[in-house]
């Protein structure tokens, strides 16, 4: 293990990230309206979304575990339909009070709250009536909801993001996560959703910067993408993926404008992205106080596997190839700490905005038999990625605000699969049996506690 001679800042953030539908449960409690997740049934390999890990009733227990581990930051999500049941009408004061109490509980334990305003759980009413973010009405509804949350909580919550992994709205995932229930999933609709989501982000970011002392940044799901060979076409495809899925949004987050290459592509291919004349007035004012991103893996693209005529937004749907130089998790994700360093460094080099990795982790099947879970694989994953981050900071000069793991207390995965566990704390439930939901620290819990205590200074195994 490399000996560190540099030290991270004393105010460096160490913490946990989650979403509301993967933690809260209480889907029909406290005046909450239905979201699109609340009507999704359980399947053979997934749970429904009614209970999650019951953090609605047990958040103090989970915050105690975070505080005992030394965490000083928790990025959580407000459920839009909990505070605004139809997504459009009156606000629900009981739901707002829940988050008031949750925020105060975090602050009492010296844990800095960070709020995400949307993590794919569109209020069902807006999805059914307007087809989600395909409609500009939903853009306005989101800005109304979000600015109300800033007014309610901005006195205590100083770090905000609008959309979890916003570049997913530029990919085929857009139709699943934007409240889109009906349509043909055309290229026009993809670009309209992506643009509308950016307008929604802009409305909130501009409000925060014009009216508060809070900070806000854009967030991407950033996967390093390599060409599968020296084939120049593959190198072109890898660059285009980064341009269309990442830099196009980063250009707005930092410079207030879309990528010239992407706008030229839209014009040349006659794509109708619903770009209205006044949209420039909103976008040009956008700035970011930090760039947030999730990082789990890298991908490798083979241009030979991509059908001719495929737009760059869909290359990864067609041409991903296994990288022989990397380990692969049991869920098929390739583990690549060096890619993490490269993203931190290249984005900071180009945009000069502080970087904030707010999701990182590995999902693994685990069972609790009464003894401590020996998750050395998770310790290795986080150690290697924290080391890569420190290399970016100390060797490459990147300004990094903190390191937040994903779901460090077990939660259902994004597909609802409780078998895919990311946590340093085990939650005793399965996909179809809630059991007692007892929280049990794993070996990695104590390792990460030591890492945080040393502020990243000692990443070695505990003796």
- The residue among 435, 320, 431, 420 whose CA lies nearest residue 366 is 420
148 in active site: no
The one catalytic residue in 165, 189, 224, 390 is 165
List, edge to edge, every strand of the sheet that includes 112-118.
215-216, 159-163, 112-118, 73-77, 13-17, 402-406
CA 393/CA 6 separation, integer angstroms: 9
CB 318 within 8 Å of CB 293: no
Backbone angles phi and psi of 389, in degrees to 5: -65, -45
- Residue 246 contacts residue 258 (beta carbons within 8 Å): no
Write out the two tokens for 383: 């150690």
Q: Which of 24, 189, 224, 359 is catalytic?
A: 359
Catalytic residue flag (residue 261): no
Torsion-angle region of 246 (φ positive above 0: left; ψ -120 to 50: alpha; else: beta): alpha
Nearest to 80 by CA among 122, 116, 48: 122
- Residues labelled catalytic: 165, 359
């Amino acid at each position: 293990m490399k000996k560190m001679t540099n030290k991270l800042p004393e105010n460096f953030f160490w913490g946990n990230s989650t979403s509301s539908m993967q933690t809260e449960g209480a889907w029909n409690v406290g005046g909450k309206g239905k979201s699109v997740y609340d009507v999704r049934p359980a399947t053979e390999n997934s749970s429904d979304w009614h209970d999650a890990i019951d953090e609605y009733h047990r958040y103090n227990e989970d915050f105690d575990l975070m505080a005992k581990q030394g965490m000083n930051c928790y990025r959580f999500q407000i459920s839009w339909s909990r505070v605004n049941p139809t997504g459009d009408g009156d606000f629900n004061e009981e739901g707002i009070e829940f988050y008031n109490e949750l925020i105060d509980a975090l602050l009492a334990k010296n844990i800095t709250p960070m709020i995400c305003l949307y993590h794919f759980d569109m209020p069902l009413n807006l999805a059914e009536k307007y087809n989600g973010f395909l409609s500009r009405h939903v853009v306005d509804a989101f800005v109304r909801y979000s600015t109300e949350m800033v007014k309610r909580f901005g006195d205590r919550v100083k770090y905000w993001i609008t959309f979890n992994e916003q570049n997913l709205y530029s990919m085929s995932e857009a139709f699943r996560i934007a409240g889109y229930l009906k349509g043909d999933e055309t290229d026009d609709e993809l670009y309209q959703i992506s643009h509308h989501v950016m307008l929604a982000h802009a409305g909130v970011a501009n409000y925060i910067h014009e009216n508060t002392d809070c900070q806000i940044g854009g967030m991407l799901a950033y996967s390093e993408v390599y060409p599968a060979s020296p084939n120049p076409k593959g190198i072109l495809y890898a660059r285009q993926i980064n341009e269309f899925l990442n830099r196009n949004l980063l250009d707005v987050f930092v410079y207030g404008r879309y990528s010239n290459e992407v706008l030229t592509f839209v014009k040349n291919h006659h794509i109708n992205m619903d770009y209205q004349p006044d949209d420039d007035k909103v976008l040009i004012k956008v700035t970011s106080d930090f760039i947030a991103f999730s990082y789990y893996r890298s991908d490798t693209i083979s241009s030979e596997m991509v059908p001719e005529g495929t737009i760059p937004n869909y290359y990864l749907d067609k041409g991903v190839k296994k990288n022989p130089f990397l380990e692969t998790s049991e869920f098929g994700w390739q583990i690549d700490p060096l890619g993490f360093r490269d993203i931190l460094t290249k984005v900071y080099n180009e945009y000069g905005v502080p970087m904030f990795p707010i999701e990182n982790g590995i999902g693994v099947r685990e069972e609790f038999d009464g003894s401590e879970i020996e998750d050395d694989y998770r310790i290795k994953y986080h150690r290697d990625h924290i080391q890569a981050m420190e290399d970016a900071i100390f060797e490459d000069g990147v300004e990094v605000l903190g390191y937040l793991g994903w779901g460090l207390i077990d939660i259902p995965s994004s597909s609802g699969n409780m078998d895919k566990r990311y946590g340093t704390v085990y939650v005793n439930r399965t996909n179809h049996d809630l059991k007692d939901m007892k929280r049990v620290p794993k070996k990695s819990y104590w390792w990460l506690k030591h890492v945080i205590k040393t502020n990243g200074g000692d990443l070695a195994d505990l003796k």
